[in-house]
Amino acid sequence: MFKSFSLCFVFLTLSALYLTAPVKGEVPDAPVKFTSMAHRGDPGNAPENTIPSFKLAIATGVESCEFDVYSTKDGVLVLSHDPDFTRATEGKCKEKVNNLTWDVVKTLDVGRPSKWNGKYKGTPVPTLDETLDLFKDSGCIPVIELKQGGIEEKVVAALKKRNMIRQCCIVSFNSKALRKMVELAPDIYVIRNGGNRKDMSDDQYVQWFADSFEDGEFKVANPHYSQLNENTVKKLHEAGFRVGAWVINDEKTLHQYLDWGVNSITTDKPALLVKVLKERKK
């Protein structure tokens, strides 16, 4: 009788574990809920893709924040929107990110003193590691844009080290990179960027996004706002997509796209978007 009871207990325990185990490919709860996304921090008030800019964005109460990642020549993941540092250093360093070692990159000043009257002079290039440390448990979801292929494994390793696979999003124009991220971390949440749709009809544009994802679990279309109209948003929703739009910086357009049912908006003015969303809830 004791043996039968033990076998029954083991069976029930294993069954409970199976039923409560996370489903492979499950969309993370926190990222799927966000509506507001800051674009490279708060670039209207501090240099983009820098720690000061991210701190200002977090302080606005924005739900998520996008930033861009490249690798240095020696494999350190750093933040830069452009493939080189020409704009960020105001012409002092024109070399491509992946041609520079971290020892060189960490000496660069990306505080753009001429634009900010010296306020952020001496601001260094952040690493992905320190950026993730800033966002972890901040209440603001980090949205990592992959600007370079071949860095997926290192990005996943940095996220796993901090137990942040389910506390982040990955965005890219590169569908292969997104599929690689899902392959490495099935529970990760990914967003497909879309640029100029050229002469594609609404149906063709929806199909373009569908082809990008193939049979993936996640269907999030995030085109530039100029490529969307109310009918496109409707058709993307009908095809099972969650719809984002970037980058919207004026109040009238924010309201228009939210009225169309756009699920998430990326902005250079996170405080404005947070204000608009609060007003719409009243």
Which runs of E-coded beta strand occur in 147-236? Answer: 169-172, 189-194, 220-223
Quick: pLDDT tens for 208-224.
998 876 655 567 899 99
Tell me if 197 sits within 8 A of 218, measured CB to CB: no
Q: How many CA atoms lie within 13 A of 44 on its CB side?
A: 12
Quick: pLDDT tens for 89-130.
999 999 999 999 999 999 999 999 999 999 999 999 999 999
- d(C-alpha 266, C-alpha 224), whole Å: 9
Mind listing the pLDDT tens digit of every residue in the chain (282 residues)? 434 434 443 333 333 333 333 333 344 454 556 899 999 999 999 999 999 999 999 999 999 999 999 999 999 999 999 999 999 999 999 999 999 999 999 999 999 999 999 999 999 999 999 999 999 989 999 999 999 999 999 999 999 999 999 899 999 999 899 999 989 998 888 899 998 899 999 999 999 998 876 655 567 899 999 999 999 999 999 998 999 999 999 999 999 999 999 999 999 999 999 999 999 998
Bridge partners (DSSP) of residue 83 are none
Which tokens sit at 145?
């844009």
What phi and psi, each to the nearest 5 degrees, are found at residue 270?
Answer: -60, -35
What average pLDDT does the chain have? 88
Which tokens sit at 165?
């696979």
- d(C-alpha 47, C-alpha 54), whole Å: 9
Quick: pLDDT tens for 180-200.
998 999 888 889 999 889 999
Distances (CA, A) of 11 to 3, 15, 31, 277: 12, 6, 35, 49
